[in-house]
Chains A and B, each alone.
Chain A
Amino acid sequence: MKQNNLKKGIEEIKKISLSQTEKEVMLHAILKQPVVLPYRVKSPFFLQLRALSVACVAFILIIGVTTASAAENSLPGDALYSLKVNVNEPIRGVMSVTGVEKATWEVEKAGRRIIEVQKLAAKGRIDEKKKDEIEQKFEEEIEVQSKRLDDLERSSKNDTKKKEIKKAKKKIKDKLEKIKEEKKKNQKR
């Protein structure tokens, strides 16, 4: 009888589920989700460039992977930028699953925006207010992800995991240094 109770308990737990309507609505939302660009660049030609960049993405898919790597250095408003944020970055994002991987990726992604902003500012393609906003967000992101890694380090009892976390913290520190160097370089121009 008790084995039957156990089986019954498992069956009852397995009855916890979404309703059919909830599942359908959710699936529809997932499949229709657009991918959003991080921010808009102050440019009178942005709309035309955007249409051009959509056409270029189709062209790039025919050419292949080498173009995807070339996109990594593109800036908002460039034809390849759409590929960078709509293809390259989502791949990285999806593959970052654990707390450590996500913290590292979030900082790297925020760092990319900063480098882009600094390069745009050097070319006069972004206003100061937007630049300051993004720099502020970057600093906040560093703080959030550093705290996250500290929490993970404190709660982990696995030595391999602790080493991984230390490595990630160093990566964030190196990223910060790189951002500062890039800022100095751009200010000298």
Chain B
Amino acid sequence: MSTHSQDQFVELYTKEADAIFRFCLLRTSDREAAKDLVQETFSKIWKGIQAGVSYENPRAFAYKIARNLIIDWYRKKKAMSLDAMTDEDGNEEFVSIDENFVETIELGAEARYLISKIKELEEPYQHAVYLRFIEDLKPKEIAEILEEPVNTVSVRINRGIEKLKKITGYDNQNETK
């Protein structure tokens, strides 16, 4: 195993661990579970690197792994089928923050407000908006993570952000000084 590979992995981990942690925490509302999911995500990537796998977009791949691990976590931890974690239309809900959990983490008022408004968006906008708006991922990367065509993702991002700005009151029309 070359030190160059290890250096590359450590660089990826240093850059993305916090973002992946946020992604997991907002879905699980459980700090310890989120940490476990982060560790498992990067363990998988590291094992792949050791085995000679090279990743075209390691950042997107990390989110993709995390997303699927979260789905597994729900299935195992909460002992319910995917139906129970989806909304009425069968779409996977993005944010499952509960009010009690929000109180336990240090989160400013604006952040709480923004998260609650993202949660009000219909899926499939939630994922697209969070990944683009909060984590600055590119549409192509989000498409890879969500396993959807890039065009579909781009439309969702634009519509989702438009809706978000309206429901938060942060659109230009309502801006006051």
Which A86-125 residues sit within 8 Å CB-CB of chain B?
A: 87, 90-91, 93-95, 97-99, 102
* Interface check B168, CB cutoff 8 A: yes
- A44 in the interface (beta carbon within 8 A): no
> B17 at interface (Cβ–Cβ under 8 A)?
yes
Interface of B, secondary structure class, is: helix
Indicate if the CB atoms of A30 and B48 lie closer than 8 Å: no
The reply to whether A2 and B169 form a contact with Cβ atoms under 8 Å apart is: yes
Q: Are A18 and B39 in contact (CB under 8 A)?
A: no
The docked-state distance in angstroms from the alpha carbon of A161 to that of B64 is 16
CA distance in complex: A94, B64 (Å): 12
What CA separation (Å) do A22 and B174 show in the bound complex? Answer: 42
Whether B176 lies near A102 (C-beta < 8 A) is no
Segment 55-83 of B: residues with Cβ below 8 Å from A:
61, 64-65, 68, 71-72, 75, 81-83
Give Cα distance in the complex from A8 to B44, angstroms: 34
Q: Does B175 contact A (CB under 8 A)?
A: yes
In the complex, what residues of A have CB within 8 A of residue B72's CB?
A: 99, 102
Q: A18-B35, A94-B51 are in contact. Are A13 and B115 (CB under 8 A)?
A: yes
Q: Which residues of B contact A87 (CB under 8 A)?
A: 51
- B99 lies within 8 A of chain A by Cβ: no
Whether B51 lies near A1 (C-beta < 8 A) is no
Q: How far is the CB of B83 from chain A (nearest CB, A)?
A: 6
Known contacts A2-B174, A10-B134, A12-B110; is A95 also within 8 Å of B48 by CB? yes
**Shortest CB distance B126–A (Å):** 14
Tell which of A47-55, A129-137, A152-160, A168-176 binds the partner: A152-160
Residues of B within 8 A of A147 (CB): 81
CB-CB under 8 A for A22 and B35, given A1-B177, A13-B134, A154-B82: yes
In the bound assembly, the distance between CA atoms of A90 and B89 in angstroms comes to 36
> Considering residues A2, A3, A90, which has the most beta carbons from chain B within 10 angstroms of its beta carbon?
A2
Interface size on A, residues (CB 8 A): 43
| Chain B residue, CB-CB nearest to A18 | B21
Which residues in A have their C-beta under 8 angstroms from that of B38?
18, 26
Q: Is the pair B52, A91 in contact by a Cβ cutoff of 8 Å?
A: yes
Interface residues as binary, B1-21 with A (CB distance below 8 Å gives 1, 0 otherwise)? 000001000100110011001
A157 and B46 CA atoms in complex are apart in Å by: 33
Q: Does B42 contact A (CB under 8 A)?
A: yes
Give the CA-CA distance A112 to B111 in the complex, in Å.
49
**Interface of chain B residues 87 through 112 with chain A (CB within 8 A):** 89-92, 105-108, 110-111
Report the Cα distance A155→B35, complex, angstroms.
27
A9 to B79, CA, bound (A): 34
The residue from A14, A18, A23, A94 contacting B134, defined by CB atoms under 8 A apart: A14
Chain A contacts to B: CB under 8 angstroms: 1-3, 5-6, 8-10, 12-18, 22-23, 26-27, 29-31, 33, 35, 87, 90-91, 93-95, 97-99, 102, 147-148, 151-152, 154-157, 161
Provide a sorted-by-A list of 14 A–B residue pairs whose CB atoms are within 8 angstroms: A2-B176, A6-B170, A16-B18, A16-B25, A16-B105, A17-B21, A18-B17, A18-B21, A27-B17, A30-B43, A30-B46, A90-B48, A98-B68, A154-B90
